Amino acid sequence: MDNEKLTRAEAQGVRYASELEAHVRWLDSFSAAALGVLAVASGIYTYLGVTSLLDDNGALSFFAAISYSIAVSVGIFVFWSYLMRLLPAVRTVGARMGLFVSMLLGSAAIIAMSSWLNAAALAGAAAVEQHLAQTVQDYQSALEQANEVAVNAQGLERDVARVRQSFQDLSEQEATGDLSGLAGRGAVFRVLRQKSDELSGLETQIQSQQPLVFAAFSEGNQILSRMRSLTVEPGPIEVRSVQFSEEAVRLSGVITQLRQLSVAPLVSRAAEDLSASVVLPELDGRTEESRAGQQSTIRSVLQVLGQRAETLRRAADAVIAMPKPADIIYTPISTADAVIRYAANFAPSWAGAIAIDLLPAVLVFILAITHAAIRSGKARVGVEDTMTIAELRAALNAVTGMEEALRRAQEPSSAPAPTLPPPGETKSSTGQDKPQDA
């Protein structure tokens, strides 16, 4: 009973293997054509990617791109043809591991020489547009940061005006005699007026920068608007990149101008000079007591002057310490480089470019699994049990042919040799022997 079950299981395994072999034979009839179509398609996209890298559009560049794409197509076809035939056929673990490692190395080589160019052909223009959009964002950040620094520097005008007003008020108090006790425009009054006039000139200079800052920022926004339109408008990306480069140069100049319009360094230097460069007038008091009072008042004024100057300097240094806008330089980029740089944004295109080259790897695994199943179905039976009727008929015909050939080879050696008549006797026409006349 066990032998009957075993025989039945063996028969089922043979039928299972025969069915799989029939399917494999049918699939083999068009697998080469399908692989050729995939290789040609990859070669076409590789050609488009290569042409985007070549600056020259002459005949030599055309033939170079064609040659490279043909080499890629042939290489892909031959590589996967080898693996589709050899990897399913090997049986040892060492051979399978060796071919598997070879497949990994070959796949990496295909990605290096073809897939990234396919991705450049599929999403190259979109990747360059992404690069332009990213550059616009960088320029916008730099412009806004430069304008913020310039506007904060313009805000120092209020600090300067406050210090100027304080010295002006002190000078008016000195003119009425409420400060040093000596009414008039004496030495103390002239010191206060001297510093008030200096701060008034600095305030006027800061006010003159305000329209320039506003105009530069408005011009920068207009350039940014044109750059954004170049990013999304239709047309060849190469032409738009050239126009984008021109606008980027202009915008860089505007950002540099905004950085130069910041009055914070000027206010900081003026604050340092405010207390360091004081021209002390000659004391004009009529008595020694009045001159001593003027001297004491001037020392107090200088002390207040130093405090106001330090406050103004700290305000200016706070503006100077603000983060500076980054130096943005637009660099034109090819479609292939753009696809690599912004690969994360074009994952579907990369997936399609790699899949068209590595899809045959799935077919290799399918064939390997199928051939393993076929060998498993035939493992417990001999070759004579797996022969089909057509194979058996062919074998019988071959045996019959061999037997016929052996029989024909033995016939000449078994036939009797012909006999000759004795000398002096001849055969007549009737077949009777006649004696020969003397």
DSSP 294-346: HHHHHHHHHHHHHHHHHHHHHHHHHHHTSPPPP--------HHHHHHHTGGGG
Tell whether 263 is covered by a domain: yes
Q: For residues 22 and 108, state if they share a domain.
A: yes
Q: For residues 91 and 146, state if they share a domain.
A: no
Closest CA to 374 of 34, 123, 14: 14
Tell whether 261 is covered by a domain: yes
Q: For residues 112 and 142, state if they share a domain.
A: no
Q: For residues 294 and 156, state if they share a domain.
A: yes
HSE, side-chain direction, 13 A CA sphere, residue 207? 9
Q: For residues 276 and 328, state if they share a domain.
A: yes
Q: Give the model's pLDDT for residue 300.
A: 66
Tell whether 424 is covered by a domain: no
Q: For residues 239 and 119, state if they share a domain.
A: no
Tell whether 284 is covered by a domain: yes
Q: Could you tell me how far CA 146 lies from the centroid of its own chain?
A: 30
pTM over 0.85, yes/no? no
Number of domains the chain is built from = 2
Q: Give the model's pLDDT for residue 91.
A: 84
Range of the domain at 9: 2-125+345-385
Using CA atoms, how far residue 318 sits from 210, 264, 272, 327, in Å, is 19, 9, 15, 21
CATH number of the domain enclosing 211: 1.20.1260
Tell whether 435 is covered by a domain: no
CA–CA separation, 42 vs 255, rounded Å?
A: 45
Tell whether 142 is covered by a domain: yes
Tell whether 402 is covered by a domain: no
Q: For residues 107 and 147, state if they share a domain.
A: no
DSSP state string for 49-75 = HHHHH-S--SHHHHHHHHHHHHHHHHH
Q: 88-104 burial by CB neighbour count: b if 16+ within 10 A, else e?
A: beeeeeeeeeebeeebe
Q: For residues 163 and 31, state if they share a domain.
A: no
Q: For residues 41 and 163, state if they share a domain.
A: no
Q: Give the model's pLDDT for residue 82.
A: 92
Residuewise pLDDT in 10s, the chain (438 residues): 444 444 666 666 667 777 878 888 888 888 889 999 999 999 998 888 888 777 667 778 788 889 999 999 999 999 999 999 898 888 888 888 999 999 999 999 998 888 888 888 888 888 888 889 889 999 989 999 888 888 888 888 887 888 777 777 766 766 665 555 555 555 666 767 777 777 788 788 888 888 898 999 999 999 999 999 888 888 788 888 888 889 899 998 999 888 888 888 888 887 777 665 554 455 555 556 565 655 666 666 667 777 777 887 888 888 888 888 878 888 888 887 888 888 888 888 888 888 888 989 999 999 999 888 887 776 666 555 555 666 667 777 888 888 888 888 877 655 555 555 555 554 444 444 444 443
CA–CA separation, 361 vs 81, rounded Å?
A: 10
CA–CA separation, 427 vs 113, rounded Å?
A: 94
Q: For residues 82 and 133, state if they share a domain.
A: no
Q: For residues 121 and 155, state if they share a domain.
A: no
Q: Give the model's pLDDT for residue 2.
A: 42
Quote the DSSP letter at residue 176: T
Q: Give the model's pLDDT for residue 4.
A: 46
Q: For residues 178 and 322, state if they share a domain.
A: yes
Helix and strand numbers (H, E) in the chain are 12, 2
Q: Give the model's pLDDT for residue 279.
A: 46
Q: Give the model's pLDDT for residue 436.
A: 45
Tell whether 131 is covered by a domain: yes
